[in-house]
Amino acid sequence: MKYIFPLIFCISLYTHTLADSVAKAEPPHVEYHYVQKPPPPPPKSNLDQALDEGIQILLDQGLAGVIIIVLLGWTWKESKANRSIQKENFEKFVEISQECSSHMASVSARLDNIEREIEAQKQIQLMKG
C-alpha cells in the first residue's frame, strides 16, 4: 500500500508532462517553392552555326579539346591507311582463292582417275577370282 500511492503519483506526473509536450506542438513546417519558368527554346541553327558551336565547345575544353582534335586526325589517317591495306589484302585473297580453285579442280580430276583405276582393278580381281 505504501508503494501504490507514490507509483500512482509518478504515473500521473509522467502523463501530465507528456500531455504538456504534445499540447505545445510546433507550427507547421511550410516550404516555399520557387517556380522557375522553363528556359526558352534554343534558336534553330543552320549547319554553319552548328559547326561553329562544335568548334567553340572544343576550344572551351582547352587541352582536352586539343587532345580530342589530335586523336580525331590520327584516327582519320589510320582508317584511310587501313582501308587501303584492306583493299590490297582482299585483292590478294581473291587471287589466292582463284589459284586454290584451279588446284582443287585438278586434284578432283586426279582423284576421279584414281577411283576409276581402283574400280577397274577390283573388277579384274573379281573376274580372276
pLDDT score at 97: 93
| CB-facing half-sphere around the CA of 118: CA atoms within 13 A | 6
| CB-facing half-sphere around the CA of 100: CA atoms within 13 A | 6
Of the two residues 40 and 119, the one the predictor is more confident about is: 119
Of the two residues 112 and 24, the one the predictor is more confident about is: 112
At residue 82 the predicted structure's pLDDT band, cuts being 50, 70 and 90, is: very high
Question: Does the structure show a pLDDT above 70 at 24?
Answer: no
Cα(119)–Cα(115) distance, integer angstroms: 6
Cα(55)–Cα(47) distance, integer angstroms: 12
Average pLDDT for 68-73: 89
Average pLDDT for 104-114: 92
Of the two residues 26 and 121, the one the predictor is more confident about is: 121
pTM tops 0.85, yes or no: no
At residue 13 the predicted structure's pLDDT band, cuts being 50, 70 and 90, is: low
Burial 64-94 (b: 16+ CB within 10 A, else e): eeeeeeeeeeeeeeeeeeeeeeeeeeeeeee
Average pLDDT for 25-52: 72
pLDDT score at 43: 66
